[in-house]
Chains A and B, each alone.
Chain A
Amino acid sequence: MPRDQVAERDVVVQNQYGIHARPAALLVKTAARFQSNITLEKDGVEVSAKSIMGVLTMEGYHGSRIRIRARGPDANEAVEALSDLFEKKFYET
């Protein structure tokens, strides 16, 4: 069996309205494509990146820092894909 990858990266919420329902859905859908276990951590609180309720509870306002962590066969790819969403401001302004 291939060894699990472990990956993590810090990102900043850059879109104006923060992680409200639409960006949250985009995050969760993207995360669900990967087998790895993925979490988001903000201010010491960690939630599953595959749970919409979890992601919404995180209150990722504009400018807040979030740590993406993944563990599993496709962890690197997953972190890459999720960071990309933050980078692209969830296709918002």
Chain B
Amino acid sequence: MSLTVRQFYEAGRSSLALEMVQGEEHLDRAVPEPAINRPGLALAGFLRYFAHRRIQVLGLAEVTYLKGLEDSERAARVAAFFGAGVPCVVFARGIRPLREFCESARRYRVPILRTHLITGRFVQLAAVMIEELTAPRMRYQGTMVDIMGIGVIIEGPPGVGKSETALGLIARGHSLVADDLVELRRSSWGEIVGTAPDVTRFHMEIRGLGIIHVPSLYGVTSVRREKRLDLIVRLERALTSEEEERTGLEVASRDVLGVPIPFIQIPVVAGRDISLVVEAAALDFRLKQLGHDAVKELDQRIMERLGREGVGSRD
């Protein structure tokens, strides 16, 4: 995903203590490579492998080095640095930008930012923030809960009882991540992470009641800000006998932002407590993750038994 300097600046104002030094009118510049670079070598004159498409961060080392140069040399280095086409420059440790930077930045229409954080810390935090800003995202229709560490999205047609099922799970001590609409993103290590849209976070709609604030009713442990997605459970009013899984030997999966997520369908029939079924599904998934596949083991045992009986004559 693309990133503009404005997005970086807005997101980093509180978390990275970013301040505007100059060039606010150039904030809509794109950051072609959403990453951080410390341009020490480029400022020392080695421009061959200069990662100029990234956000450039200068700390004490770079600035002290530049200050030690002859005026004309310094001006040339800084001009070459901007000439390469950098999208944005950040001074860490609250350092005041050198005069040459301010002048060149104006000429090349590059915004200059500043932070009081020390350079190493800033680079770390900025990398994480950029990762979040640029992660592939999507909105998913469904209700997400955390069932003992397993992130489950409950989906299904309107009115099938997604929120009621989630409420049943919350009442049994599990926690709500998002009701009805989940914001998903893919982390750099390939996990899908779900969270609620800011406005509706921790609220849910229960038909006949209206909107409730979950932590007010069920306590702080009844909600979670975000959770890795492990399983999608689809509630269906009626399944054909072909769709209904009877053993659990075959687990289907669904593609979410390029990552396959295990997917099961549960028929909703009157008199069935769906919360209990979804809870069991999550626990069974957990068991499989621990390398314990109950169905496969049962099948193994049955096959061994059938083999023994087949050989010996019974009567």
Q: Is A87 an interface residue (CB 8 A)?
A: no
> CB of A80 within 8 A of chain B?
no
Residue of B nearest to A30 (CB): B241
Q: Determine which of B244, B247, B309, B310 lies in contact with A22 in the assembled complex, contact meaning CB atoms within 8 Å.
A: B247
Question: Interface code A12-32, partner B: CB below 8 Å = 1, 0 otherwise?
Answer: 000001111110110011101
Cβ-based interface call for B305 (8 A): yes
Knowing A20-B299, A32-B241, A33-B241 are in contact, say whether A25-B247 is a contact too (CB < 8 A): yes
Contact partner of B246 (CB less than 8 A), chosen from A28, A43, A60, A62, is: A28
A46–B9 Cα distance when bound, in Å, is: 73
Q: A32-B241, A59-B309, A61-B309 are in contact. Are A20 and B302 (CB under 8 A)?
A: yes
Contacts of B249 in A (CB 8 A): 21-22, 25
A43–B302 CA distance with the chains assembled, in angstroms: 18
Beta-carbon contact of B246 and A17 below 8 Å: no
Contacts of A21 in B (CB 8 A): 247, 249, 295, 298-299, 302
Assembly CA distance A62 to B305 (angstroms)? 11
Q: What distance in Å separates the Cβ of A77 from its nearest Cβ neighbour in chain B?
A: 14
- Chain A's interface size range is 20 to 34
Q: Which B residues lie at the A interface, using CB under 8 A?
A: 241-242, 244, 246-247, 249, 295, 298-299, 302-303, 305-307, 309-310, 314
Q: What's the nearest-Cβ distance from chain A to residue B292, in Å?
A: 16
Task: Tell me how far the C-beta of A38 lies from the nearest C-beta in chain B, rounded to whole angstroms.
Answer: 13
Q: How many angstroms between the C-alpha atoms of A17 and B310 in the bound complex? A: 9
Q: How distant is the Cα of A24 from the Cα of B306 in the complex, in angstroms?
A: 13
Residue of A whose beta carbon sits closest to that of B312: A61
Q: Are A29 and B244 in contact (CB under 8 A)?
A: yes
Instruction: Report yes or no: A17 in contact with B307, Cβ–Cβ below 8 A.
Output: yes
With a cutoff of 8 Å between Cβ atoms, the chain A residues found around residue B310 in the complex are 18, 61-64
Quick check: is A85 within 8 A (CB to CB) of the other chain? no
Please give me the 9 A-B residue pairs with the lowest Cβ-Cβ distance, nearest first.
Answer: A18-B306, A32-B241, A21-B299, A61-B310, A61-B306, A62-B310, A61-B309, A25-B247, A25-B246
Contact A17 B303 (CB under 8 A): yes
**A51 to B: closest C-beta gap in Å:** 10
Report the minimum CB–CB distance from A65 to chain B (whole Å).
11
| Closest A residue to B309 using CB positions | A61
Residues of chain B within 8 A of A6, CB atoms compared: none
Taking a contact as CB atoms under 8 Å apart, the answer to whether B246 and A20 are in contact is: no
- List residues of chain A with CB within 8 A of the CB of B298: 21, 56
Question: Per-residue CB proximity of A21-58 to B under 8 Å, as 1/0?
Answer: 11011001110110000000001000000001000100
B305 proximity list for chain A (CB < 8 A): 59, 61
